[in-house]
Structure 1
Amino acid sequence: MSKDGLCAIVTGSASGLGAATAAILAKGGARIVVNYSNSKAEAEATADLCRSAGAEVVVVQGDVSRDEDCRKIAAAAAPWGRLDVLVNNAGTTKHVPHHDLEGLSAEDFQRIYAVNTIGPFQMIRAARAQLEAGAKASGLPSAVVNVSSVAGISGGGSSVAYAASKGALNTMTQSLARALAPLIRVNTVCPGYIDTPWFTKGRGEAGAKAVRDAVVAKVPLKVASTAEDIAQLVCFLASPASSNMTGEFVRMDAGMHLVL
């Protein structure tokens, strides 16, 4: 990222991949809207990290499953008069073994889809005019980066509902890449395992360690990807360096997909 005053929204940026992405964008000179749903203290910590890099930051609470909240988040960038980057990172899941069909209710599916699939659609819709203004100001298409998962390709992951929601996000990426060109690019990152508190919250300390150890033992590169590792890819797709890419989903899983 060059210090050219790009304006960016990163949803779900209180911690983990979202926070790492916001920090890298800030270091590159971008102005940042930090969004959180529940974790205000963590969001403020992310904002302080971005400000320490010299960035202008706005913190806004909002649940992306609610259209009115998406419009509030987008409006937080309105004073800048443009928007160059939207990172749809907010996500949720329920950890349920895939064979346990009774472990997921219709309400579970609806909540997971509402955040993981409908949320990005609503954010793109809410921010469309600002993204188009950013493209006209810069002379390059603005960038939407959706954070999906390898689960959306393989059908694995934390639950059937989660995998299905991410698969839907992948196909939506292609649909909107066609619909919004040439002023807006839409790409998706599909991470594998990321060593963040996500697994600890879902499985506890011992369960999270077991998952991490199993991943490191299995993947060809013998590493557990960090939030910062994946954030580098997100920021590449957000930056002018990828200005000719749209409609792609890029996998980063330390080679897990190569394991037969």
Structure 2
Amino acid sequence: MATTSDSVPFSVHGKTAIITGAGSGIGFSFAQLLLARNCNIVIADLSLRPEAQKFVDEHSSTDEGKPRAVFVKTDVSQWPDLDNMFEVADKEFGGADIVCPGAGIYEPHWSNFWHPPGTAESKDKAHPHNGLGHYACFDINLTHPIRCTQLAISRWLNPPEGSKAGKASAINPKRIVHISSIAGQIPGFPTPLYNASKHAISGFIRSLAPLETLGIRVNGVAPGIIKTPLWTDHPEKLKMLDENVDAWVEPIEVAEAMLRCCEDKTVVGGWVLEVTKGNTRNVDWREDPGPSGPGATAGNYATVTAEVYQWLSEPGWGVAKG
């Protein structure tokens, strides 16, 4: 599904990147990596963890020639907020050349298939006031990266007046880097919404491979088990892991693969780079053997599977309250 182009070599040096979810985790590691290569960063997130706040504070100087990091408070489920982060990139840096819609959640109890809308733990509403139902898990993991991609393509084909980023072309290439997951290759009984969203993102990436002929490369990474707050801040997810056996993939390993998505001419549009411990490979959409090796498995997966069956055995499962 990959489509190559004759575009000039792409370097992140001197470019500007918008990264959603970069207040922590993989997005933050990618932001650090890019800024170290003289790339300006727009961090779009609801809030910043202390290390990300320090990063922004240390790189907010407007001194000529120094790369900067700017934070814009963003709820990625709100489309006006997504518009606003692009406007901030226009105002601060003359537009963005790289877009990474990296914000995501790992099917927390408050937006979870096994805690249906309207039940005690869910924040998803069974009876929304306008009649349009939403799963926050899909709003964040799927709808937001799709909408970000549309907004980026629109700006690159129709740049605002005075845009430094300019119009996308073979000689002025642009990059969109998505974050899928090994969950996009496998089933996941305890987390079916998350797995479905990542299957969809991987399919979305592959479907947009032909855009590279316009100078717009859309590709992404599919990390294994990453040591980020997506896991470490959620004890209900840590139950899956046996830390005596299971290996963590470090965020910097994923960030380096994301940099390859931007700069490496051998990593083309439509590719999904699986990142496990010490290993990166393209996942073909045809007859791929699936993830394996350190960082690709959770040794206590049966624990959370049993927990799901316990929930289903409770009287009134799935009945909305009120």
TM-score, length basis structure 1: 0.81
- State the distance in 1 between where 2:117 and 2:192 align: 11
CA 1:252 to 1:94, structure 2 compared with 1: closer, same or farther past 3 Å? same
CA drift at 1:59: 1.0
2:202 to 170, 191, 209: 170
Tell me which of 74, 85, 110 is aligned to 2:86.
Answer: 74
> Which is helix-richer, 1 or 2?
1
Indicate if the aligned counterparts of 2:170 and 2:213 stay in contact, CA closer than 8 A: no
Distance 1:157 1:211, change over 3 A: farther
Q: CA deviation at 1:92?
A: 1.3
Q: Does 1:208 align with 2:220?
A: no
Specify the alignment match of 2:256 in structure 1: 232
Separation in structure 1 between the aligned mates of residue 226 and residue 270 of structure 2, nearest angstrom: 23
Aligned-residue CA RMSD (Å): 3.2
Task: Assess, with a 3 A threshold, how the Cα gap between structure 1 residues 102 and 6 changes in structure 2: closer, same or farther.
Answer: closer
Aligned to 1:154: 186
Q: Alpha-carbon deviations, 1:162-201, whole Å to 9, x = none?
A: 0001111111112233357422110010000001222122
Closer, same or farther in 2 for the Cα pair 1:179/1:193, shift >3 Å? same
Q: Which amino acid aligns with 2:18?
A: I
Equivalent residue pairs, number: 248
Which residue of the partner structure matches residue 10 of structure 1? 19
Distance apart, 1:48 and its partner CA: 3.2
Distance 1:104 1:158, change over 3 A: same
CA contact under 8 A between 1:35 and 1:59: conserved in structure 2?
A: yes
- Is structure 2 residue 63 aligned with structure 1 residue 29? no
2:152 paired residue number: 127
Decide which of 199, 216, 226 is 1:194's aligned counterpart. 226
Which residue of the partner structure matches residue 115 of structure 1?
140
In 2, Cα distance between equivalents of 1:3 and 1:68:
27
Residue 272 (structure 2) aligns with? 249
Alignment of 1:182 with 2:214, yes or no, is yes
User: Residue by residue, what CA displacement relative to the aligned partner does 1:57-85 show, whole Å, maximum 9, x if unpaired?
Assistant: 22101111111111001111113333211
Paired AA for residue 77 in structure 2: S
Shift in alpha-carbon separation, 1:45–1:5, aligned structure 2, 3 A: same
Identity %: 24
Give distance in 1, aligned partners of 2:242 and 2:227.
7
Greater CA drift, 160-169 or 243-252:
243-252
Letter in 2 for 1:237: C
Range that drifts further, 77-86 or 133-142:
133-142
Q: Which is higher, the Rg of structure 1 or of structure 2?
A: 2
* Paired residues for 1:132-143 under 5 Å: 132=157, 134=165, 136=168, 139-143=171-175
Q: Provide the rounded CA distance (Å) in 2 between the counterparts of 1:158 and 1:31.
A: 39
